[in-house]
């Protein structure tokens, strides 16, 4: 006897970055952020959860290796919240629901309700974990959706987003596809801090993301501790939060809704630059980009400065870069440009330029 649910969730890459918490337990951010959820055909986390009355403890496997599930308060917070909702549902069951096949089977075998069964969680990334490629986002989004399905909870995407947020801030955005805003909210309870859809993926189907894996090593400063030191020490940070980000969120939404690539690209690059400037302004400073990352920025700049040979007119801004908490670049470009840019990348950075290996870090929940 048992129930199983499997969910695959995509990663999202922020174009207006979340960096800083006002409450680190509830994972409430200092600012709103905006991201693009990538197609899950390429980068994703697949999570399967099985519940059985015969299991004696909750267990977790990450990329095939068993980890201590209870070592992560964030993971247990997400599971606890979903169990609470399941319990609520069980308490609310009307007499007709009590005659459902699952309850009849449970009654027949004298087993406790589903909310009390232990679970086994197996989660796999198809990309390097903790290398600044948003693995915790897809990891927690897949976990909460899989458990919510297993518990047959009819909860809204808003609620799911809030529960995923308890695992990792950026995970609340991976609940939606397309263009997504995480509204920071102001309430101490966090009830107004969740993601909303800005536009579906179909709104701008020609916009593509290219990931340049510079290194698949685990990042030197995890996002959680990095942003906490930034909040405490950076003098640029308060200006970013009060003056820069609120305007950028509005401008970025306009750029997306108008499918204005030049505006989108300029904002994305400036936003990435400022995020890394604030990291550098942190004490001790945080360096996420390396020499190859900076060379990629130069290459994007070179590409965007090209002049048409016949008309002698600038070709314009056709490619944008953004870097999260690691050296890997995410390039945004329209579909008809991406091939030309890849050719240039392959010319300057032949395969093997970066510090990549085939070793994946089995740690989407930040346990290691």
| Tokens of residue 157, six digits | 């995407």
Closest approach of Cβ 170 to ligand DP6, in Å? Answer: 3
Identity of the residue, 34 or 317, whose beta carbon is nearer to ligand DP6 in the bound complex: 34
Residue 296 found at the interface with ligand DP6 (CB under 6 A) = no
Selected binder of ligand DP6 within 8, 223, 272, 304 (CB under 6 A): 223
Give the residue among 335, 23, 309 at the shortest CA–CA distance from 187.
23
Phi (first) and psi of residue 353, to 5 degrees: -65, -40
Closest approach of Cβ 141 to ligand DP6, in Å? Answer: 11
Residue 176 found at the interface with ligand DP6 (CB under 6 A) = no
What is the x/- site pattern for ligand DP6, positions 127-166, by CB under 6 A? ---------x------------------------------
Identity of the residue, 5 or 30, whose beta carbon is nearer to ligand DP6 in the bound complex: 30
Please, is 109 exposed, middle or buried when counting C-beta atoms within 10 Å of its C-beta (0-12, 13-18, 19+)?
Answer: exposed
Closest approach of Cβ 33 to ligand DP6, in Å? Answer: 5
Residue 48 found at the interface with ligand DP6 (CB under 6 A) = no
Residue 170 found at the interface with ligand DP6 (CB under 6 A) = yes
Residue 234 found at the interface with ligand DP6 (CB under 6 A) = no
Question: What DSSP assignment string belongs to 161-230?
Answer: HHHHHHH-GGGGGTTSSSEEEEE----TT-TT-EEEEEE-GGGSTTEEEEEE-SB-SPPSS-HHHHHHHH
Q: Considering only 80-88, 167-175, 309-317, 328-336, which stretch makes contact with ligand DP6 by CB under 6 A?
A: 167-175
Characterize 228-254 residue by residue with b for buried, 16 or more Cβ atoms within 10 angstroms of its Cβ, and e for exposed.
Answer: ebbbeebebbeebbeebbeebbebbbe
Q: In what order do the strands lie in the sheet with 319-323?
A: 207-212, 329-334, 319-323
Residue 14 found at the interface with ligand DP6 (CB under 6 A) = yes
Identity of the residue, 170 or 304, whose beta carbon is nearer to ligand DP6 in the bound complex: 170
- Contacting positions for ligand DP6 (CB under 6 A): 14, 17-19, 27, 33, 136, 168-170, 223-224, 324-325
């Amino acid at each position: 006897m048992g129930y199983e649910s499997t969910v695959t969730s995509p990663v999202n890459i922020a174009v207006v970055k979340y960096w800083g918490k006002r409450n680190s337990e509830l994972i409430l951010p200092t600012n709103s952020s905006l991201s693009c959820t990538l197609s899950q055909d390429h980068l994703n986390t697949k999570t399967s959860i099985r519940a059985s009355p015969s299991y004696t403890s909750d267990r977790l496997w990450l990329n095939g290796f068993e980890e201590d599930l209870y070592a992560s308060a964030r993971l247990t917070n997400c599971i606890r919240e979903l169990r609470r909702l399941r319990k609520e549902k069980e308490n609310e069951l009307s007499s007709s629901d009590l005659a459902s096949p699952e309850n009849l089977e449970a009654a027949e075998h004298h087993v406790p309700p589903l909310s009390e069964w232990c679970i086994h969680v197996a989660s796999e990334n198809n990309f390097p974990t903790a290398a600044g490629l948003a693995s915790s986002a897809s990891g927690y989004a897949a976990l909460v959706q899989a458990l919510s399905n297993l518990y047959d909870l009819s909860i809204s995407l808003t609620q799911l987003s809030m529960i995923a947020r308890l695992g990792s801030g950026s995970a609340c955005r991976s609940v939606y596809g397309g263009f997504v805003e995480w509204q920071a909210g102001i309430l101490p309870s966090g009830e107004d801090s969740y993601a909303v859809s800005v536009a579906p993926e179909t709104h701008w189907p020609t916009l593509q993301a290219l990931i340049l894996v510079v290194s698949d090593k685990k990042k030197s400063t995890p996002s959680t501790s990095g942003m906490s030191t930034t909040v405490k020490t950076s003098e640029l940070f308060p200006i970013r939060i009060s003056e820069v980000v609120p305007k950028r969120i509005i401008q970025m939404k306009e750029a997306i809704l108008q499918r204005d690539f030049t505006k989108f690209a300029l904002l994305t690059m400036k936003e990435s630059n400022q995020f890394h400037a604030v990291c550098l302004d942190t004490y001790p400073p945080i360096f996420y980009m390396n020499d190859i990352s900076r060379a990629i920025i130069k290459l994007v700049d070179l590409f965007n400065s090209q002049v048409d040979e016949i008309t002698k007119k600038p070709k314009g801004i056709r490619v944008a870069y953004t870097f999260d908490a690691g050296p890997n670049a995410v390039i945004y470009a329209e579909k008809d440009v991406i091939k030309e840019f890849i050719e240039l990348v392959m010319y300057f950075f032949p395969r093997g330029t970066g510090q990549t290996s085939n070793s994946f870090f089995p740690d989407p929940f930040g346990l290691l």
